Amino acid sequence: MIGFQRVYLIGWAVIFIFCSDSLFAQKKSLHFIWCSDTHFGLTKSVFRNDSNVTAAKVNAAMVEQMNKIPQCILPTDNGTAAGEIIGRIEGVIITGDICNRQETGIQSASISWKQFEEDYISKLHLIKNDNSKAALLLTPGNHDISNAIGFHRPMEPKTDNASLVGIYNLTMHPTSPISSDSFNFEKNKIHYSQNIGGVHFIFVSAWPDSSERVWMNHDLELIPANMPAFIFTHADPYSEARFFRNPNGDNSINSTDKFENLVSETFKDGLNVKDSTIEEQKGFASFLHSHPNIKAYFHGHSNYAEYYEWNGPSNDLHLSCFRSDSPMKGRYSSKDETKLSFNIISLDTEQKEMTVRECFWNVHPSEKIQNIEWGMTHKISFKF
């Protein structure tokens, strides 16, 4: 794991920007909770002396720990607000795969989305600095999208767009909530932005493909060129061939080609899901070169906590990337529940620095009361 120190203690043309910097004029440090891949519908083989525990119960336990974060004291490391009590939380960010894909034996997205609402809307009790409820900031993942548009293996039902509709209504704030019947994946794109503490937070669906970058260009034109920006999405910068639109035949989702059509861009590198994504990465890298104010990239999908630097296909970029664990599918935490983690993102609005800290929330699974223990931490500057 690179760069960490361990410390213990759509219409697409519609652009949403919520400017709230004035609310934070007197607040030097701002804090966010970030996690990914909640995967409602799965079960965890072992959790707190029980077996085959549902995602609803595991996520409820994680939410209980999130509610304790305001009373926690940050470790005395070299990071933002070190040694200080955390206090208010500006938002809870979840970068996709809210619901697991409804393949054989997995409950429908509609059931999973209701469980998500119960855990993350009804049970979260975090407050922002303006005394309002902490924002819930979501992006869709590949499982959420496949549930809505279909998949190349059997699902029951064949499609269920509940989580995409729910995410759209929560984040895009339509004048009238959109319904499952009226939702259109090609038109109702989930992408939005917020200005918080002098930073532009950009949330995009699945992966920032060429279609999403058209929207992002419009969005970035509305902020000063020297305003730092962070991207939150589901997949890592490398992406995967299967995410793209099928370049074969009628471009459909089918069991022969196995492309998933999660983004609008048609795959350019070849005709097979095992091909590289170099051309697609080049497009994203070119976009980053045009927007040097983009300072960080946050994602889930591969399910373990890590900081790394993405250099791009030509090795000429230095994009700070952060990856999150999953409460249900963690590469390490699925085998060792004491390694379950979410993250605290802390911004120093004066020094223009950010620290991301890993929070182990289930270190003593046999005990009734769980205390947070701090794991990896990494600090970057977002001065521009």
What CATH number corresponds to the domain at position 152? 3.60.21.10
- Confidence check: pLDDT of 56 > 90: yes
The DSSP H or E segment spanning 156 is none
Query: What's the pLDDT score for residue 370?
Result: 86
pLDDT digits (tens, 9 = 90+) for 86-115: 999 999 999 999 999 999 899 999 999 999
Domain count, the chain: 1
- 175's tokens: 């004048």
Structure tokens at 232: 């939150």
Q: Which of 186, 142, 173, 122 is nearest to 18 (CA)?
A: 173
Which residues in 114-247 belong to E strands, given as ranges? 135-139, 192-196, 199-203, 229-232
Q: What percent of the chain has pLDDT over 90?
A: 91
Domain, as residue range, for 21: 5-381
Q: How many CA atoms lie within 13 A of 28 on its CB side?
A: 7
According to the model, what pLDDT value does residue 27 have?
A: 56
Cis upstream peptide for 157 (omega within 30°): yes
Least confident residue range of 153-162, 175-184, 259-268, 366-375: 366-375
Span 112-139, average pLDDT? 97
Q: Which residues contact 124 (CB under 8 A, 6 or more apart)?
A: 63, 66, 67, 92, 133, 134, 136
pLDDT band at 369 (very low <50, low <70, confident <90, very high): confident
**DSSP state for residue 357 in the 8-state scheme:** E
Q: Whole-angstrom Cα distance, residue 312 to residue 303?
A: 21
pLDDT grade for 26, boundaries at 50, 70 and 90: very low
Q: Is the pLDDT of residue 18 over 70?
A: no
Find out whether 151 and 109 touch, Cβ atoms under 8 Å: no
Share of the chain above pLDDT 70, in %: 93
Q: pLDDT tens digits, residue range 171-215? A: 999 999 999 999 999 999 999 999 999 999 999 999 999 999 999
- Rounded Cα distance, 384 and 369, in Å: 43
